[in-house]
Structure 1
Amino acid sequence: MKVFFDVDGVLIDGWHADVARREPWDATIEADLGIDRDAFQLLFFGTPGNRSASPMFECVTGRRDLKRALAAVLPRAGYKGGVGDFVRYWSEKNSNINPEVFDLVRELRERGVQTFVATGQEHYRAGYLWNDLGFANHFDRLFYSAEIGVPKKDPRFFEAINRALEIDRGERPLFFDDQAEIVELASRAGWDAATFTSARNIQQHPRLKHLWP
């Protein structure tokens, strides 16, 4: 059996589809780095409904290098430090692992289940998650948007994973994501996708609950 997990809102507590549950990584960015938080959000992430025109969108789809994109934006938001230091700050602040989910991932692997990550990320954070946060010790592989070349909200994202792992319609890999629209896309690709709200969603899933003592 193959089980896939999203990062933000599932494996990492931070950004979440449910606004009330979000824990922003940049909450103290002005006090810490002298950056105008609102200005940076607008310049780098764009406005709601127009995210695809933002520098961040270009980064998470592999079209632009994150550090080069940040170098063009950060000074306009008041930052006077190095881009590398900012990327490190961002990575560390956005790394609040959900221990309950990781405990379940560990148990799944002990029972012979293959575990994977399917996420929308740019290259630097993907590398940080895999190497620095140790995702490599918990998952068979990390699939991310910048590597695939399309956003996660594009059907081709899941089609690419199906091809890479030679997944056929009968296999129906499990997938947990906090965004309903992503769950719908994965379902169309033949996955058994479920909207995630807590570790209990994993424990109580009909195809997994028999694994727990």
Structure 2
Amino acid sequence: MTIEAVLFDADGVIQRPTVDWRTTLESFVRPDQSAEEFVLDLMESEVPGLSGKGDFRVAVADVLARWESTAPMETVLDLWHRFEAEPAVVAIIAELRAAGIGCHLATNQHAYRRAIMQDERGYRDWFDQTFYSCDLGVAKPDTAYFKSILTALDKPASSVLFIDDKAANIEGARAVGLQAAQYDLDEGIPALRTLLATHGLPPTP
């Protein structure tokens, strides 16, 4: 079936970090503590927020208190601002939309990061619709996430292409009938164009 819409993941597909966030996070604990376990604790604190449950700022504060970290709260939160979109991918999205292909953001984010992307960075202007897991109340790779998007798009699943850098998310999308392809920014822009061409995108003028 002809592709009528494309769902783009964010991290790893559209945007990438601008700092070595893991190394920076590891500096927020004492030398006698396990930096690896601290980072894992902090990453796990994000999970409820991805489905719209809890406040990420409160979760971070709890982690810092648990580890007796002296790092200022705002310094830690600033890391979630340290990312940038790849201009070439944004340009491809604009090309697809100009060709009449609906382009939508499909990303797992808590409300704190959503506000940065959607409001501060203007991601809302790049897409026809944006689907943040915190708004949907369910996160990838849960099939309910994809079903919710299909309901909003009102299109056959086989006419929608989903692009993500994680295999588990690709499997979740395929489970509901979406066409799905794995891609990572590190593969380069030509690889993305080849992926799209394989699915007949953009259409030949």
Distance (whole Å) between structure 1 residues aligned to residue 136 and residue 127 of structure 2: 18
Q: Which residue of 2 aligns with 1:72?
A: 62
Distance (whole Å) between structure 1 residues aligned to residue 69 and residue 131 of structure 2: 32
Q: How many residue pairs end up in the alignment?
A: 193
CA RMSD after TM alignment: 2.5
User: Equivalences for 1:70-109 in 2 at 5 Å?
Assistant: 70-80=60-70, 82-87=72-77, 89-93=78-82, 95-109=83-97
Counterpart code for 1:202:
L
Q: Which residue of 2 aligns with 1:4?
A: 7
Distance (whole Å) between structure 2 residues aligned to residue 175 and residue 118 of structure 1: 8
Structure 2 segments unaligned to the other structure (5+ residues): none
Distance (whole Å) between structure 2 residues aligned to residue 114 and residue 35 of structure 1: 45
Q: CA 1:211–1:78 in structure 2 vs 1: closer, same or farther (change >3 Å)? A: farther
TM-score with structure 1 setting the length: 0.78
Distance (whole Å) between structure 2 residues aligned to residue 160 and residue 5 of structure 1: 15
Match among 40, 43, 48 for residue 41 of structure 2: 43
Matched, 1:149 2:137: yes
State the structure with bigger RCO (CA 8 A, min sep 6), 1 or 2. Answer: 2
Following superposition, the deviation at residue 30 of structure 1 comes to 5.0
Q: Which residue of 1 aligns with 2:161?
A: 174
TM-score with structure 2 setting the length: 0.81
User: Equivalences for 1:25-40 in 2 at 5 Å?
Assistant: 25-29=21-25, 34-35=28-29, 37-40=35-38
Following superposition, the deviation at residue 156 of structure 1 comes to 0.6
Distance (whole Å) between structure 1 residues aligned to residue 203 and residue 16 of structure 2: 25
Counterpart code for 1:195:
Q
Distance (whole Å) between structure 2 residues aligned to residue 65 and residue 42 of structure 1: 18
In the TM superposition, what whole-angstrom CA distance separates every residue of 1:144-184 from its partner, at most 9, and x where no partner exists?
222212221111110111112222245x2111111122112
